[in-house]
Structures are given as structure tokens and as C-alpha cells.
Amino acid sequence: MGDANTRTVVITGGSKGIGRSVAYRFADENARIVIVHFDPSDDACNETIGQLKANGVAAEGYKADISSFEVADQLFRVILEKFENIDVLINNAGITRDTLLLRMSEEIWDDVLRVNLKSVFNCTKAVIRSMSQQRSGAIVNISSVVGQIGNFGQSNYAASKAGIMGFTKSIAREVAGRGINVNAVAPGFVDTEMTQVIPEKAKENFLKQIPFGKMGKPEDVAEAVYWLCSSAAGYITGQVIHVNGGMYM
Ligand SMILES: NC(=O)c1ccc[n+]([C@@H]2O[C@H](COP(=O)([O-])OP(=O)(O)OC[C@H]3O[C@@H](n4cnc5c(N)ncnc54)[C@H](O)[C@@H]3O)[C@@H](O)[C@H]2O)c1
């Protein structure tokens, strides 16, 4: 993976939250960073790109709905044409649409599975040929503790995140011979916009389940992601690394 060389790193959902922290972590090695987001406004993405550029990092942002196969395919063609190769892919984009199964519409189920799981297929498929040809690469998929233990009102989200774990292990087996490692990181309860909407009462309940007694920071997740993409983790593939303060052991 040649940490000494400049790597091209694509981070989906990199405009804010965990993805932004991952981008800042890769900035420390002066990687070329491509951020993909689908926020209604470009503000968060511009802020992230501005911060990266202020630190002398080559960074670009794209707004694209990567839950669409065609959109993702086209986007990665553009990125590959511009940067020639992609060394690291972080499949981090995700959404929640929480409700009890009794009230869950087909649309809500499909939205979450499409954005959280199908996008991982779309983006991984779009890079795997070029990574295979260059015989190196690292892919990290962001799952969730909920994919392991389930959660009230999150059957769609839990299914998508458990699906990511199975996908990760299968692809890890398929591409190991090409020098590509594929792992997942399963965060617990992390302080981002995604969790800011959780009612106080529910937050208190979550905190009781965490031995460390506090939420994780996006940086805690970014550190694990970064390490999995470094040569230090070169013999690690098909794993799910839990970053959850002990919430699930
Ligand atoms: N925050 C947590 O407690 C927590 C816990 C476990 C797992 N996760 C996972 O970590 C990842 C990042 O979460 P976060 O908390 O930073 O979320 P966030 O809401 O702060 O950011 C989500 C990012 O995903 C992007 N995105 C959403 N839909 C997209 C689409 N269709 N196409 C392209 N990009 C899209 C958004 O634009 C944004 O950049 C998600 O996969 C989430 O499920 C978060």
C-alpha cells in the first residue's frame, strides 16, 4: 500500500460527521482526498474541502446520490479519469429512517437499504477492477453496532448494517489474492448530526449500555479506519472492528 507515496482516498459521506473526521485523518499523510456527499446544500462539503486545502491537501468534493448504480458508476469513472487510480475507498455514507416495523413503509425500508447497503455494492464494484489491476488497495465499510445487536425501531438500518458485514467478508475473500484488504468498522454511539436527533431519554438509555459511559467521537472511529488502511494492518482482512466503548463485546 506504500504509505510513503501519495494515496488517492475516496470517502463517501465525507462532508461531515465520521466521514469528515476520516478525511482529516488522511490529511495527516497528505493523501489526495475525494469527498462524496448528498447533503441538500454544499456548505458542509465546502467547509471540509476548505479545511483540507488550508492544510495543503489536494481535495475535491462531489455531490452525487451513490445509492444509484448508474450515478455511482459515472462518478467513479470521472474520479478515475482525473486521479488515475484509487488506493483507498471508505464506504461511509449512511442514513436512518427509524420506525417500528408495524409502521414501516416499503419506501422507508427501500431507502435505507439502498443508501446504506446498495451504495456499498455500487462503489466497491466501481473501484474493484482498477484496484485489482494495480494489485493493491484498501476498502473500509462503515457498519454499526446495531448490525450486530439490533435496535428497537431500526430493523431497516440493522439489516443494512448486518448486510455490510457479510458483504465485507465475501469481498475480502474474493480480492485478497489481488493485494486488497477489505474490512468493516462498526461504530457504537457517536456524536454526529445523525445522533443529535435522538431524544434525550433514548440517549440516556444508550449511555447506560456503554461501559465507558460516554458517546464516541468521530475521531475515535477515524483512527480505526485509518489504521485499517495503513501497512500496519496489511495482514488484516475480512474483519469487523468494533469502536463502541464496550457497548457490544
Ligand atoms: N453516528 C453514529 O452514532 C453512528 C454509529 C454507527 C454507525 N454510523 C454510520 O457511520 C456513517 C456516517 O455517519 P454519521 O453519523 O457521520 O452521519 P452524518 O449524517 O453526519 O453524515 C452522513 C453522510 O452521508 C452522506 N450521504 C447520505 N446519503 C447519501 C447518498 N445517497 N449518496 C451519497 N452520500 C450520502 C451525507 O451527505 C453525509 O455526508 C453512516 O454509515 C452511519 O450509519 C454512525
Ligand 1 atom closest to 12 (CA): 34
Give the active site residues: 157
pLDDT tens digits for range 200-246: 998 999 899 999 999 999 999 999 999 999 999 999 999 999 999 99
**Alpha carbon distances (Å) from 115 to 65, 97, 111, 213, 228:** 8, 11, 6, 30, 23
Q: Determine the distance separating the centroid of ligand 1 and the alpha carbon of 128, expressed in angstroms.
A: 22
Q: Which of 68, 74, 192, 219 to mutate to test the pocket of ligand 1 (most atoms within 8 A of CB)?
A: 192
Residue 77, pLDDT score = 98
13 CA → ligand 1 middle, Å: 6
Q: Give the domains, in start order, of the chain with CATH numbers.
A: 8-243 (3.40.50.720)
The answer on pLDDT for 4 being more than 50 is no
From 34, 95, 151, mutation site for ligand 1 pocket: most ligand atoms within 8 A of C-beta: 95
Split at pLDDT 50, 70, 90, the class of 5 is: confident
Three-state SS annotation for 24-44 = HHHHCCCCEEEEEECCCCCHH
Residue 85 identity:
N
Average pLDDT over residues 132-144: 98
Q: Tell me, what's the pLDDT at 2? A: 38
Dist CA 199 CA 196 (whole Å)? 8
Ligand 1 centroid to Cα of residue 249, in Å, is 23
pTM: 0.97
